[in-house]
Structure 1
Amino acid sequence: MAKTNRNFLTFNYVGKVGKQYSLRNRGDQSIIASLPKKARRPLSAQELSQQAVKDNFQRAVLYAKSVRANNPDLMAQYEAVRKGTQSAFNVAFLDAYKGPKLRDLRTDEYEGAPGNPIKVEALDNFRVKSVKFTLFSPDGTRLEEGEGTQAESGFQWTYTAQVANPAVTGTKLRITAKDIPDNMTVLEVLL
């Protein structure tokens, strides 16, 4: 690191020179130094969480821009549900930013026989596109899989079992909900 006092050539110059040196001033001194090396360390849990939020935000902005430019019908649907001063772009952004939520799973009528229903509530800030139900036997093999049907209420989805399951205890149920921007929420439970 080189230091000079009152060097008129480098005084008040700051910044990088190529990829080799940096110029800066401290008081009445001009300093020429090699560029600092970035530490290569693994990201902390907080930094990973912040990066995930940034990535999700960027994805939501790109989705809203894409809908505005390429899908006027969907943009009109977003326009129809906006509130107050909110724009259709904001509704599209929020739809992409927040995924669907699954709650109130009801398996009390499922006894392992074909025709038994399994019900779940799937909620989204705009609309849930699909809810898929997958059942796995206690040893991990897939028994059956299918799309749920949406009730008239708009938030309850029902799947009707198609295959006999003699061992209900220990059966794993995986429910996957998707919304319009393909955000996916997964709920797994052991019966």
Structure 2
Amino acid sequence: MELLENDLIEGSSGRFGKRLIYSQRGRKTVITRRSSRKRDPNSIRQQVVRETFAEGIIYARGVIADPELKSLYQAKVKDNQTAFNLAVSDFCKAPQITRVHVFDYTGQIGDKIIVRAVDDFKVVSVELKITDSADSLIEEGTAVLSPNGADWIYLATATNPVLAGTKILVSAADLPGNVTTQEVLL
């Protein structure tokens, strides 16, 4: 619950009684109920989430300490958000590969493979690795960001005489180093 123009608690934070917590979100004071802690041991999934969040905090501290990175994150903050919060969120979410367009790939030099990779902050690189049906490497390389800012374009640099069984492994990485991979079988 957001408080509107209350001079008594504006800018304050802390606990009121046993149930209410006052905190700051951007420039607003909000009240939340205190969470009830469970006495049960943590599940494996909870432990993984906590470890990821702790690593995200470490990453965010590094972002805030680096003026260049901080300004990148600060430029994308929204209402009631800070660069620190955005950096933690970015660390906790890997990029997604939403489309791999291979219809223009015929195994010839210069053929296009278009990859759509998205992230909550920024995808910094997309790598492709093309192997034949026996898993022998045909080629690998880095895709280039297209002018639309969402698609990555890879131009083939080697010929592939037999398309059947060809595997294209796509990897997308974001700023914190999260990597997502997807394999396409031709």
> Shorter-chain-normalised TM-score: which range?
0.7 to 0.9
The one-letter code of the counterpart of 1:123 is: V
Gap runs ≥5 in structure 1: 1-45
The one-letter code of the counterpart of 1:53 is: V
1:51 pairs, out of 25, 30, 47, with: 47
Deviation >2 Å, runs of 4+: 46-52
Q: What count of residue pairs does the alignment treat as equivalent?
A: 145
The aligned residue for residue 11 of structure 1 is none
Distance in 2, Cα, partners of 1:114 & 1:59: 42
Alignment CA distance shift 1:49-1:167 (3 Å): farther
Equivalent residue of 2:104, what SS? coil
Render the CA deviation track for 1:150-188: whole Å, top value 9, x for unaligned: 011111001000110011110111001111111100111
Render the CA deviation track for 1:40-67: whole Å, top value 9, x for unaligned: xxxxxx9333332222111111100111
Q: Which has the larger radius of gyration?
A: 1
The one-letter code of the counterpart of 2:157 is: Q
2:127 pairs, out of 129, 132, 153, with: 132
Distance in 1, Cα, partners of 2:99 & 2:155: 17
Equivalent residue of 1:168, what SS? coil
- 2:156 equivalent to 1:161: yes
> Superposition pairs for residues 23-34 of structure 1, below 5 Å?
none
The aligned residue for residue 80 of structure 1 is 75
2:105 pairs, out of 102, 105, 110, with: 110
The aligned residue for residue 89 of structure 1 is 84
Equivalent residue of 2:74, what SS? helix
Alignment CA distance shift 1:51-1:189 (3 Å): farther
Equivalent residue of 2:183, what SS? strand
Distance in 2, Cα, partners of 1:50 & 1:85: 26
The one-letter code of the counterpart of 2:72 is: Q
Distance in 2, Cα, partners of 1:170 & 1:59: 39
1:184 pairs, out of 173, 179, 185, with: 179
The one-letter code of the counterpart of 2:141 is: G
Equivalent residue of 2:57, what SS? helix
TM-score (norm 1): 0.73
Distance in 2, Cα, partners of 1:52 & 1:137: 36
RMSD of the TM alignment (CA)?
1.2
Distance in 1, Cα, partners of 2:107 & 2:46: 43
TM-score (norm 2): 0.75
The aligned residue for residue 30 of structure 1 is none
Gap runs ≥5 in structure 2: 1-41
Distance in 1, Cα, partners of 2:183 & 2:43: 28
